[in-house]
Structures are given as C-alpha cells and as structure tokens.
C-alpha cells in the first residue's frame, strides 16, 4: 500500500549507521525507506541512514544505496558525528564485539541482532553500556519478528517468569516438521531439503547442534532472571540423532517432537536453561508450530500462560524487530523523559462503512425441497454480481440424527423419505459466496428472503468468511 505522498514533514532527524548490508542490513535499509513517512509521523522524528559499512563496497546491492554512504571501515562509521545510532549487523563474535564496544565508548546507541555476541559477551557489553549511560537494544536477536524481548522487558515486567518453552530455531523446526509429516523421512533427507530451500546455512552446525537456540535461550533467561547465564551452564543437545522411527513411536504415543528451549525458575532461586529435542503432546498449540515458524509459550505468575507465534528469522521479520529498536533509540535520543503517548497523524484517517467492506460469505437458507430453488437463488445473486464458490445441500438434521463428527460417510443419516402429506419439507441450502460488498449481499439477501420457497423460520443466516493471512 502506498500513501498519497512520501513527503516527510519537518521533524528532527536522527542519523543511523548500518554496519552490515547483508540479508538483515539490506532489509532494514529497504523498509526504512519504504515506511519512512509512517515512522516519521508516528515518532515525530525522521530516521536517516547516514553511513553504511560492508566488507566489499564494490558489490552490487539490492536495494542499492547511494555510493557516498559507504565507508571503508566501521571505525569511520562510529567516528561520524552524524551517526547517532550504530546498527551492528555484521554477525560473528569478536569483530562485532570490538565494533559494539567502540560504539558504546563513543556514546552511540547500539542496536544489534547478534545473539551469539550477546550470549558470549552480554555481561561485558551491558556493563560498559551502563557505565556510559547508553542503551543497547536487541529485539532481533531472539525469535526474529516476534517482539519477545520487549514483552519480557515491558509487558511482563510485573511477573515472575515461571517458565518459558520456545521453538526458536526455524531450521530445526523445519527439519522436525518434515520428519513428523512424512513417514520414513530421515534426518539427513530433511536437512538436505532445508538446505535446498535456503532454510539451512551451508554449514548448519550452529542450528542443528542446538547452539543457535541456546544463544537465544541465554538472552531470554538473562532478561527473565536478572543475571547473565554462563553458556557453560546450559544443557544443549541437537536434533542430529532423531530418527524416522522416533516420530512413528512419538505419534503412536500421542506426541510430537520439537527442539525446545526451556527456562524454568525454582523457588530456591535456581533456574533451568536447556535446549534439546522434546516430546510434547501432539494436540498442544506449541506442537502445531510448524515449518520455519517460531513459537514461545511463556508463563508469568501474574498473567498466566501466553503464547507468541511468528517468523523467527528472514529478512523482513528480522528487519521489523530492528526497526522497532531504531524507533525506540530515536525516541530516547530526542524525547528523553517524555512519557509514552498517542501521536495523531494523517496517514490513515477514516473507517470504511460496513456497506463498502468486501468479504466472502457463508449463506444458509432453509428452503422447500423442490426443483428450481437453486436456480432462483443463484439468479438473484448473479444479478448482483455475486459469485457462488460452492453449494451444499445436507440432509435435514434432527436431534436424533446429528452425526458424530468422527462418523464415516456411510454412517451419516439418510435423507428422510418424501413427506406422506405430499407437501415439500424444508431443507438447508448452504452457499459459499465469493467477494461482495456488505451492501450487495444484504440487498441480495432481502430479495432472496422474499422468495416463496425460502423459509423465515429459521431465518437465513449470513456469516462472513475470512481467509487468514498465511
């Protein structure tokens, strides 16, 4: 969707330095441009990319930023007075550590998506940030597009986190989902599939060994429990040993197998932090988090159970998390101490009346069981350009013949024999309808309701059908 104009008002500007322009860096740049005006209107601040650093500045990029934005070393990016927020997206640990600590020493706010860096050096980084009075933001480091960091830091601030169970590695979850769904599929075959689809790195060890999930678990546990969890204290077991037979047995026993990161708090102050393949009841919502998706079930002593679901990696989901950190950082810089508030802006601004809203529909009519009924109803719909996607005429339902939902087709009740009085009995006629406005469908329904063979008891029922985003 495009707004009428991309012209940004006269807002204070905050300069961003992008260290790294790979999958995530390019995504952040692209979406910062795309939602530039929306962000500016929401924040009352304009975020502007001032500098970019990569290893090879001559590489063609998509999108291609202006050449003059590129510098040859990240030290130049940090040294630039126009860069107020440094976004570390180079990955790896030691170089990223040097970059982040130099940025903090220079008093620049740091945004990073680097879970390995935080898991290994979180304690030193946050100590330095504290001493410099500069924030480090890392929403993208855990579960990609799911805002779990802000949920733990803000939404659940009044809760003791009793436990968290997370599917937080999309590669492993893809492999395990495929093994669960295709009987006999081996781990190696599922991994090869994940690689072919680009869901696994050329060297998938960090993912399948469980360590990528462990890095994220360490960050979550450290936030939840207030001390930096030493990586050596975390039990980590990967998915390489899971066989096709394990899935057959698990299914028979009513379970699914997932790589779970598990956090649990004990009354004596000890905590569990572990990552390993885990059998969970197959009908639990977490067991249905499939493919590359992530899911986190978090239990707070005040809120109870909450479930988060979404894309845990990928350019767009990760960029979404980085943008939220950038917005927070910019707000901290410009509006220090200003309370959270609602900022009205003019990018949207009217609610569509229901008459104009388009939807698909389920229409249930009670009609006399006689020839010509369907043609009559379909004619009225066609006159108003409403298409029918399917028609169903089930046998009448009496309390005594409502079928068991698990019944096989031959157990379904037979259509009752013709009425002995010779009059036509009423039967349900179900129509699934293509998109139409509310006005179109209500006018059509008024006309249909007046047909002599359409009953008013029960009245026609119209239910909106939504195909949810996949």
Q: Which residues bind ligand NAP (CB under 6 A)?
A: 20-25, 53-56, 59, 74, 89-91, 95, 113-114, 140, 144, 313-314, 318
Minimum Å gap between C-beta 99 and ligand NAP is: 8
Minimum Å gap between C-beta 68 and ligand NAP is: 17
CA distances from 274 to 114, 163, 213 (A): 20, 12, 9
d(CA 319, CA 313): 9
d(CA 426, CA 367): 5
Minimum Å gap between C-beta 54 and ligand NAP is: 4
Q: What residue has token string 């028609």?
A: 391
R_g of the chain computed on alpha carbons: 29
Q: Which is nearer to ligand NAP, 310 or 395 (CB)?
A: 310
Q: Which is nearer to ligand NAP, 168 or 330 (CB)?
A: 168
Minimum Å gap between C-beta 453 and ligand NAP is: 58
Minimum Å gap between C-beta 393 and ligand NAP is: 49
CA distances from 415 to 331, 391, 393, 402, 403 (A): 67, 17, 10, 12, 13
Q: Which is nearer to ligand NAP, 292 or 373 (CB)?
A: 292
DSSP-assigned letters across all residues of 391-415: EE-PPP--GGGPPPTT--GGGSPPP
Kindly provide the b/e burial profile for residues 190-229, where b requires at least 16 CB atoms within 10 angstroms of the residue's own CB. Answer: bbebbeeeebbeeebebbbbbbbbbbbbbbbbbbbbeebb
Given 216, 251, 258, 368, which residue is catalytic?
216
CA distances from 267 to 251, 272, 349, 429 (A): 34, 12, 51, 59
Q: Which is nearer to ligand NAP, 102 or 443 (CB)?
A: 102
Q: Exposed, middle or buried, 254 (CB in 10 Å: 0-12/13-18/19+)?
A: exposed
Residue nearest ligand NAP, CB atom distance: 22
Q: Which is nearer to ligand NAP, 202 or 352 (CB)?
A: 202
Minimum Å gap between C-beta 144 and ligand NAP is: 5
Contact present, 300 and 273 (Cβ < 8 Å): no
Q: Which is nearer to ligand NAP, 170 or 460 (CB)?
A: 170
251 annotated active-site = no
Q: Exposed, middle or buried, 352 (CB in 10 Å: 0-12/13-18/19+)?
A: exposed
State the catalytic residues: 216
């Amino acid at each position: 969707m495009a707004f009428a104009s991309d012209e940004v008002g006269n807002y204070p500007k905050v300069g961003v330095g992008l260290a790294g322009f790979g999958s995530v860096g390019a995504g952040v740049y692209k979406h910062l441009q795309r939602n530039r005006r929306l962000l500016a209107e929401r924040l009352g601040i304009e975020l502007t990319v001032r500098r970019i650093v990569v290893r090879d500045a001559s590489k063609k990029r998509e999108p291609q930023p202006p050449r003059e934005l590129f510098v040859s070393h990240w030290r130049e990016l940090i040294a630039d007075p126009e860069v107020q927020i440094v976004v570390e997206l180079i990955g790896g640990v030691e170089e990223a550590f040097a970059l982040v600590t130099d940025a903090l020493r220079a008093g620049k706010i740091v945004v990073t998506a680097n879970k390995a860096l935080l898991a290994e050096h979180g304690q030193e980084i946050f100590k330095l940030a504290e001493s410099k009075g500069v924030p480090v933001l890392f929403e993208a480091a855990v579960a990609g597009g799911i805002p779990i960091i802000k949920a733990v830091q803000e939404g659940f601030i009044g809760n003791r986190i009793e436990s968290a169970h997370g599917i937080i590695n999309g590669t492993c979850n893809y492999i395990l989902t495929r093994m669960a769904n295709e009987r006999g599929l081996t781990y190696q075959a599922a991994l090869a599939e994940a690689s072919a689809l680009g869901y696994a790195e050329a060297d998938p060890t960090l993912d399948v060994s469980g360590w990528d999930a462990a890095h994220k678990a360490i960050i979550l546990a450290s936030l939840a429990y207030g001390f930096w969890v030493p990586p050596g204290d975390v039990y980590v077991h990967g998915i390489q040993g899971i066989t096709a037979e394990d899935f057959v047995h698990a299914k028979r026993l009513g379970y699914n197998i997932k790589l779970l990161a598990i956090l649990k708090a004990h009354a004596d102050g000890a905590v569990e932090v572990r990552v390993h393949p885990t059998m969970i009841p197959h009908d639990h919502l977490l067991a249905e988090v499939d493919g590359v998706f992530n899911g986190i079930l978090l239990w707070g002593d005040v809120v109870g159970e909450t479930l988060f679901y979404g894309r845990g990696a990928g350019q767009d989901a990760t960029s979404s998390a980085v943008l939220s950190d950038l917005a927070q950082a910019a707000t901290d810089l410009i509006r220090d101490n200003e309370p959270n508030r609602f900022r009205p802006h003019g990018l949207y601004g009217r609610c569509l009346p229901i008459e104009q809203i388009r939807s698909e529909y389920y229409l249930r009519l009670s009609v006399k069981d006689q020839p010509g009924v369907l043609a009559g109803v379909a004619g009225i719909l066609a006159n108003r350009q409403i298409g029918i996607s399917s028609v169903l005429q089930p046998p009448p339902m009496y309390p005594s013949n409502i079928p068991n939902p698990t019944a096989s087709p031959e157990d379904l009740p037979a259509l009752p024999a013709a009425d002995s009085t010779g009059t036509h009995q009423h039967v349900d006629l179900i129509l699934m309808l293509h998109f139409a406005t509310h006005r179109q469908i209500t006018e059509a329904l008024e006309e249909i309701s007046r047909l002599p063979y359409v009953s008013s008891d029960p009245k026609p029922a119209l239910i909106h059908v939504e195909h949810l985003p996949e």
